[in-house]
Every structure is written in C-alpha cells, then in structure tokens.
C-alpha cells in the first residue's frame, strides 16, 4: 500500500487552490510545491498525517452531504463559496480552521510571501559565536555517557526569571549551586527567526498550552535555558505600590516599597533596563500617542525594556538574534555560572528525595545522544522549585506536597487586542519591537495598554478567514496596526494534571467584573484608532472579525450581548498557583518562599506571587526570588547581618 501524500490527494489539491487564490500582491498558491513541502515536513509525523487524512475525508463528505458530490469534484467557484459559508458555522467552522491551519502555515511561512507583505529580510546569523569560560559549567544530558551523583548546597529546578535570579544571588554568596533545566541551552546562532525552527526549540509543547473556560486563552510558556524570559517581549515594570500595599494588608508586612527598592534596583542594573527608543518602537507609537491624546490620556510613553542596543528586528518572542534582550540566558545564568554555579540542561526533575517531610535532594533524568537514559542524583540542603506557575504546582503535588491552595488562585492578566487598517501607511510591523509603547492612565483601575504587534504568521494564522478574504487580510499586514491591553484580573483559575506531561489542564473563568474591564479596554483602543485616522477598526474574535468604521457602530457592537469567547484573548503572565502567604490557611509558602510543612523546599517563580499585578511580572519575580535567595543564603551561612543588600558588583 502506497503511503499517503498530500501532493497526490485530490482533496488536498482542491483545498489548497480554494484557500489561496491570487490576490493583488500575493500569487495563487503553487499547489505542487506547497504540498511537497508539507509532505517533507510530515514524513515522520504519522499522527498528524492521519489527522490530515481524516480531515480531508471529512471535508469531502461534508460537501457531499450538502451538494451531492465530493469537494474535490466541485468547480473552483463552488469550492470557494462552500468554504466561505462553512467558516461561519459554529462547529464545522472550527473543524475547517483546524484542517486549514497547516496549509496556511506552509503558505505564509514561504520567503516569497514574507517579502511580498513587506517583512524584514532573513536574520543574518553570525559566522562565529563567541565562546566563554562559563559555558564550561553547562552539562547537557545529550553529552553524558554515565549516571552522575553530586552534592550541592542548593539545587534549583528551572532557569527562568525566578530560578536564574535565585541562582545568581546564592552563587554570589559562595554557595554550591546546581541548576536543573528541562530545556536545552541555545545561543544566538540558533535564533534564526524561522518560526518552524525556533518554536519547537524554545516553547513548551509548541506554544500549545491553553486555558479553557468561558473563553479559550492561549498561555504560551518557554522550555529552554532562560525559560519564558527568552520568549517574552522584554518589558520591565516594578510591582505597583498599590499591589504591595494589598500584600501587606494580607499579612505580608515585609513587602514595603522601601524594603523592595534595592531588589528592584539590582534587577534593573542586571538587565540594563531603559526606555525603548522611538526608532525601535516604530510608527505604532505615534498612532497610539495621537489617538490616546485626542481622548484625554496623559500617561503615554515608550515602555521600559531590558534590551540595550536593540536594533528593532522584532523577534523578541523567538529568541533575540543579537543578545540585546537581557533574558536570563544572557544575564543571570552566565553571571551565576561565572561565580561557580553548575547548569545541567536537558534533565527533567523526576523525584524529590526526603527524610520524613524534609527535602534532602533531587533525582533528575535525561537522555543522551544515543537515546540512553541518564540519571542525575543530587543531595542538597535546600531545593528551590522554579518551574513556573503552570508546572511548579503539578510537580509539588506529584511529590506528595499537600496544601489546598496548591494549583489554585491562578491569575493570567488576560490580554485583548484591537487592530486597525491604515491603507496609506507602512507600519513596519516586522521591523519594530512587538511591545515598545504604553498608556498607563488606568493602571490603578486595573487596565494597562501596551503594544502587541505580532509577526506575519500570527497575523495570518490567528483569524477565522479563508480564501479571498484571508489572502486580502494577509496582504494588509504592513498596514494593520496592532495594540493591546492587559487587565489586573480578579478572576482565578486552577491548574491540574493534563493529558500528557507538557500539556496541563488549565481552567479559567473570566468573571463579570473583569469582562466589563476588558470591554472598556476594547472601547478605548477603538476610539484611539478612529481618532488617529483609521479607515476601519478590526476587533478580532475566534469566530469572526468585527469591522468598525465609526463610533456609532462601535457603541452598537459593545451594547450587543457579548461573552468572553467572542473576543481573541491571550495571556502571558500566569501567577499565583503556589503563592506566598502569612499562614498555610492562605497560601503554599511563607514570606521567605519556604513551602509550609516541608523543610528544605522553597518556590521562587511566578507561582509564588500572591496576587495579580497588573504589570509585566518578570522584574517582580526576579526581585522576589533575589530577596528570598538572599535570606536562604544567610540561613545556610549562619549570617545574621540583616542589612545585606543585592550585590553591587560589575553585573549587579
């Protein structure tokens, strides 16, 4: 029996032609070349092959049910009309989008399509990347020949914002620190800007972590040395004073502005935090500035970022190709390794070793280049879990930690986006940073406006359109403005074990208060665009794109019966699933991040943040972890000097 190939499947050929007709600038799809590329990519993915084959069979039968013949036997105009109608149906529309997604991806990720839509030139990779002595402190599982047994003062599970900052603080005090990271270490030579290459390297489960409830909310997280800091937009904000006050009201009295200031300052020095430049922000900054000013907003400014020397390539979420963005893989981790820490990459923590409830070590496992399992056994005085808000609670629960708050109180900072079409302006979307401008007048009310430009692939794949409408929408990418907002949510979700290790079950229901705030953000952004001269405002949703031409249409739309699922919502800041609290009645860890009832075990990552922030959280997480690690170091070293402040050295 011959293997299934898309290139020879008549339904795949017909679907490809119907999805990608010729536009004004984009050519009709070269079906033979496109399907050949897809066949090559699917060669070893039998599961996806079977899914596509089943989807194509469904499309043929769905058309036969309505029109009396298979889809591939209909005339091209009939096929296009059928897809247009099918895309608007609630169930079949979703199935069609799933089926069309790999075809759309293959089309839009072609270099000719990228050039036709004004995208940047391909990333120029360095011919040779510098090597440093600290890289000798990294051991990859793939390079190991035998099992290892080691001793350390502190073992840290995770190398993101919390784990890396803690490692640096502890190593600065002369302690023996070992960092365990499930992902691999990559340098800038790996950050090619090609999404099909970098997403599987840097993202957990290809970025498919999703919260479900009364909306479907993608929550992408990283899995690499650097964690999610490698793939975030680089925005740096301190914890708002009102949030610190709320923590103190909850019994966390040590979190005063004065007490936290030196920790914030230490983080900002390490990350070289400074305001984004006008050149890297791009034209979107001017549009938003004019529109917000016309509506009476005063606090308009470029955002603070950790990317000194940024050249504006706009690839922050896919690994910075110049190392300008100071994610932890180029800031905290190298500085910790310079001070004697060790990093083991490609190892997954499997089990905590214990004596009673006291944690005494960690068993981690990886796989070498020959596919042989490698076991890393560590004994230590302290273990820090820093796997992130989605995975820290699952790991702790798997290890027998019992606390009713574990995995609960998940906040997300749900983010909305509004687009607008400016046909006569090149907005340089692929040649400017994705998040460089902000408007903060409503910050105290829980609404923060920030840039949210996405690459061409996101623009073209995250919409329900098909056929001619999709081609036209893709061609409009250079003229489509992207800006968004996030809310300081009062809603709370929960994380449970999912169908497989890398895909947790995330449940989150946006409450009425938060949804009202969300709609207020939509209204404000739409008004800004209209007053900045937009031809039309686009409000994207999972099932449709609403087009607004004036305020009357906007008011009518927002008065209609709407639900969270009617909007395109995403989230990038999961927090609170192992939160610190004054007592075990209210949280999982104490104010020093020690897990209640389990000596030798701490949590230092987004999971330990006690409430939603309403601000991008990496500075908060790093400052909290640095503070907690400093107290841990003093305890281990019997140092009673309570006046110690963050290191003031060269990289502090």
pLDDT at position 452 is 87
Mean pLDDT over 163-192 rounds to 97
Query: At which residue do the structure tokens 């993608």 appear?
Result: 218
Q: Which two tokens stand for residue 306?
A: 């950790």
Q: pLDDT tens digits, residue range 454-491?
A: 999 999 998 999 999 999 999 999 999 999 999 999 99
**Gyration radius from the chain CA atoms:** 25
Q: How far apart are CA 393 and CA 384, in angstroms?
A: 13
DSSP string of 187-227?
-GGG--S-HHHHHHHHBGGGG--EEEESS-EE---B-STTG
Q: Does the pLDDT of residue 645 top 80, yes or no?
A: no
Is the separation of the CB atoms in 461 and 574 below 8 Å? no
pLDDT at position 612 is 98
Nearest to 469 by CA among 86, 196, 114: 86
Is the separation of the CB atoms in 617 and 624 below 8 Å? no
Selected residue with higher pLDDT from 195 and 405? 405
Mean pLDDT over 587-606 rounds to 98
Mean pLDDT over 178-206 rounds to 94
Q: pLDDT tens digits, residue range 412-443?
A: 999 999 999 999 999 999 999 999 999 999 99
Q: Does the pLDDT of residue 528 top 50, yes or no?
A: yes
pLDDT at position 640 is 52
pLDDT at position 47 is 84
Which residues, at least 6 apart from 133, have a Cβ–Cβ distance to it below 8 Å? 338
Q: How far apart are CA 630 and CA 604, in angstroms?
A: 12
CA dihedral 212, 215, 219, 220 (to 10 degrees): 100
- SS3 track for 246-295: HHHHCCCCCCCHHHHHHHHHHHHHHHCCEECCHHHHCHHHHHHHHHHHHC
In this prediction, residue 254 has a pLDDT band, given cuts at 50, 70 and 90, of very high
Q: Does the pLDDT of residue 644 top 60, yes or no?
A: no
Q: Does the pLDDT of residue 650 top 60, yes or no?
A: no
pLDDT at position 95 is 94
pLDDT at position 532 is 97
Give me the domains of the chain, ranges plus CATH numbers: 6-108 (no CATH), 149-183+224-232+237-270+327-408+576-636 (3.50.50.60), 275-307+412-570 (3.30.410)
Q: pLDDT tens digits, residue range 17-36?
A: 999 999 999 999 999 999 99
Bridging pattern class, strands 177-181 and 148-157? parallel
Q: Does the pLDDT of residue 651 top 80, yes or no?
A: no
Is the separation of the CB atoms in 557 and 371 below 8 Å? no
Q: Does the pLDDT of residue 641 top 80, yes or no?
A: no
Mean pLDDT over 180-207 rounds to 94
pLDDT at position 111 is 85
Q: pLDDT tens digits, residue range 100-157?
A: 999 999 999 988 898 889 887 778 777 778 899 999 999 999 999 999 999 999 999 9
Q: pLDDT tens digits, residue range 381-420?
A: 999 999 999 999 999 999 999 999 999 999 999 999 999 9
Q: How far apart are CA 167 and CA 178, in angstroms?
A: 8
Q: Tell me if the pTM is above 0.85.
A: yes
Using alpha carbons, list the distances in angstroms from residue 524 to 100, 477, 607.
Answer: 33, 22, 31
In this prediction, residue 259 has a pLDDT band, given cuts at 50, 70 and 90, of very high
Selected residue with higher pLDDT from 649 and 500? 500
Percentage of the residues of the chain whose pLDDT score is greater than 70: 98
DSSP letter at 103? H
Q: Does the pLDDT of residue 252 top 70, yes or no?
A: yes
Q: pLDDT tens digits, residue range 600-631?
A: 999 999 999 999 999 999 999 999 999 999 99
Q: Does the pLDDT of residue 649 top 50, yes or no?
A: no
Mean pLDDT over 313-342 rounds to 96
Q: What is the average pLDDT score of the chain?
A: 94
Mean pLDDT over 527-549 rounds to 96
């Amino acid at each position: 029996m011959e293997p299934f190939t898309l290139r020879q499947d008549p339904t795949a050929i017909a679907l490809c032609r119907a999805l990608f007709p010729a536009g004004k600038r984009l050519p009709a799809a070269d079906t033979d070349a496109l399907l050949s590329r897809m066949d090559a990519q699917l060669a070893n993915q039998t599961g996806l092959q079977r899914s596509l084959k089943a989807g194509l069979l469904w499309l043929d039968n769905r058309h036969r049910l309505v029109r009396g013949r298979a889809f591939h036997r209909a005339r091209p105009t009939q096929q296009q009309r059928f897809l247009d109608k099918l895309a608007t149906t609630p169930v079949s529309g979703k199935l069609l989008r799933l089926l069309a997604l790999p075809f759309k991806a293959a089309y839009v990720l072609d270099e000719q399509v990228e050039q036709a839509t004004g995208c940047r030139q391909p990333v120029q990779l360095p011919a040779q990347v510098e090597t440093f002595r600290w890289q000798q402190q990294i051991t990859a599982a793939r390079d190991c020949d035998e099992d290892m047994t080691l001793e350390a003062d502190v073992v840290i599970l995770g190398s993101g914002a919390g784990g890396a900052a803690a490692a640096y603080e502890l190593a600065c005090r002369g302690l023996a620190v070992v960092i365990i990271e499930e992902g691999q270490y990559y340098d800038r030579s790996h950050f090619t800007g090609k999404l099909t290459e970098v997403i599987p390297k840097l993202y957990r489960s290809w970025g498919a972590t999703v919260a479900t409830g009364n909306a479907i909310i993608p929550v992408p997280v990283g899995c690499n040395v650097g964690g999610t800091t490698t793939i975030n937009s680089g925005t740096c904000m301190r914890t708002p004073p009102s949030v610190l006050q709320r923590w103190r009201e909850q019994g966390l009295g040590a979190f005063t502005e004065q007490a936290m200031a030196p920790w914030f300052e230490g983080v900002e020095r390490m990350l070289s935090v400074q305001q984004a430049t006008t050149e890297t922000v791009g034209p979107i900054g001017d549009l938003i500035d004019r529109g917000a000013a016309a509506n009476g907003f005063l606090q308009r400014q470029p955002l603070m970022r950790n990317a000194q020397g940024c050249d504006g390539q706009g690839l922050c979420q896919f690994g910075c190709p110049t190392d300008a963005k100071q994610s932890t893989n180029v800031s905290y981790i190298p500085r910790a390794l310079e001070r004697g820490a060790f990093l083991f990459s490609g190892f997954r923590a499997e089990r905590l070793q214990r004596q009673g409830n006291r944690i005494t070590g960690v068993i981690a496992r990886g796989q070498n280049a020959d596919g042989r399992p490698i076991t890393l056994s560590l004994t230590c005085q302290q273990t820090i879990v820093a796997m992130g808000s989605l995975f820290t609670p699952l790991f702790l629960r798997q290890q027998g930690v019992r606390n009713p708050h574990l995995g609960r109180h998940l906040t997300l900072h749900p983010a909305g986006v509004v687009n607008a079409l400016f046909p006569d302006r090149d907005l340089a979307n692929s040649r400017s940073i994705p998040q460089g401008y902000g408007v903060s007048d409503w910050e105290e009310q829980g609404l923060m406006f920030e840039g949210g430009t996405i690459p061409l692939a996101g623009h073209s794949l995250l919409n329900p359109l098909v056929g001619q409408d999709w081609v036209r929408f893709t061609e409009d990418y250079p003229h489509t403005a992207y800006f968004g907002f996030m809310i300081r949510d009062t809603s709370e979700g929960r994380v449970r074990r999912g169908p497989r290790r890398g895909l947790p079950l995330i449940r989150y229901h946006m409450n009425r208060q938060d949804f009202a705030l969300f709609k207020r953000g939509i209204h404000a952004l739409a008004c800004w665009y209209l007053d900045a001269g937009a031809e039309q405002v686009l409000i994207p949703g999972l099932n449709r794109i609403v087009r607004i031409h004036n305020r009357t249409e906007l008011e009518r739309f927002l008065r209609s019966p709407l639900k969270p699922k009617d909007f395109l919502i995403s989230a990038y800041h999961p927090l609170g699933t192992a939160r610190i609290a004054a007592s075990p009645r209210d949280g999982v860890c104490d104010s020093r991040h020690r897990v209640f009832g389990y000596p030798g075990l701490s949590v230092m990552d987004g999971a330990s943040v006690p409430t939603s922030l309403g601000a991008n959280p990496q500075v908060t997480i790093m400052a909290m972890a640095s503070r907690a690690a400093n107290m841990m170091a003093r305890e281990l070293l019997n140092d009673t000097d309570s006046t110690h402040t963050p290191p003031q050295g060269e990289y502090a």
